[in-house]
Amino acid sequence: MKRFFICICLVLCWSTVFAYDLTLHDTQASIYFSPQGGAQQAIVDAIGKARESVYVQAYSFTSAPIAKALVDAKARGVKVEAILDKSQRKATYTGATFLKNAGIPVYIDDKHAIAHNKVMILDGQTVITGSFNFTKAAEERNAENLLILRDKGLALLYTENWQKHLEHSEGY
């Protein structure tokens, strides 16, 4: 019984720091499964609709269509910033260099074993997340999932988390 109580206390302590319980009413969601499930195009389309901001967190980022959509968004006046995993420093083909060369601020989160996030926050209203890496393989070969959730409260939580990671990240 004592062991059970200690486990419950640990779970409650951790959940208040790293987890959120939400009830999402009337939240529009789009769900995609790959391979060949349209997730990459859904991301490109969502970025194409952004008007204010796109914040990216990614572990692996080699998708040319997604990188181009981010550059196009910046050209439209959208604020675009990306936090990527430290593996992007040594990768031979990566979106990090492409984005940086296009004038998009790119940061490296090297404070974790891996920065395994796959997140985009668009206009403070939409969250894109799931197992889907922003790579060609994720669209064409891997079994992945992608959620696009349109909810301001959820987007705020993800934006706050993005900002926390930005604080300890370094410029690329």
Q: Is the pLDDT of residue 99 over 90?
A: yes
Q: Where is average pLDDT lowest: 15-24, 42-51, 99-108, 129-138?
A: 15-24
Among the listed ranges 43-57, 81-95, 109-123, 138-152, which one has the minimum average pLDDT value?
Answer: 81-95
- Residue of 85, 118, 151, 165 marked active site: 118
Catalytic residue list contains 72: no
**Position 33 pLDDT exceeds 50:** yes
For position 94, what pLDDT does the model report?
A: 81
Confidence bin at 165 (pLDDT 50/70/90): very high
pTM: 0.85
Cα dihedral: 155, 79, 165, 161 (round 10): -10
Please answer whether residues 145 and 132 qualify as being in contact, where contact means their C-beta atoms are separated by less than 8 angstroms.
yes
Active site includes 123? yes
116 a catalytic residue: yes
| 69-83 pLDDT tens trace | 999 999 999 999 999
Alpha-carbon distance 126 to 154, whole Å? 8
Phi and psi, residue 160, nearest 5°: -60, -40
Q: Which of 68, 86, 116, 136 is catalytic?
A: 116
DSSP letter for 79, please.
E
Is the C-alpha dihedral spanning 59, 86, 18, 51 positive or negative? negative
Q: What are phi and psi of 126, to 5 degrees?
A: -130, 135
Distance CA 18, CA 120 (A): 19
For the ranges 29-33, 57-61, 93-97, 118-122, the one whose mean pLDDT is highest? 118-122
* Catalytic site residue from 86, 100, 110, 123: 123
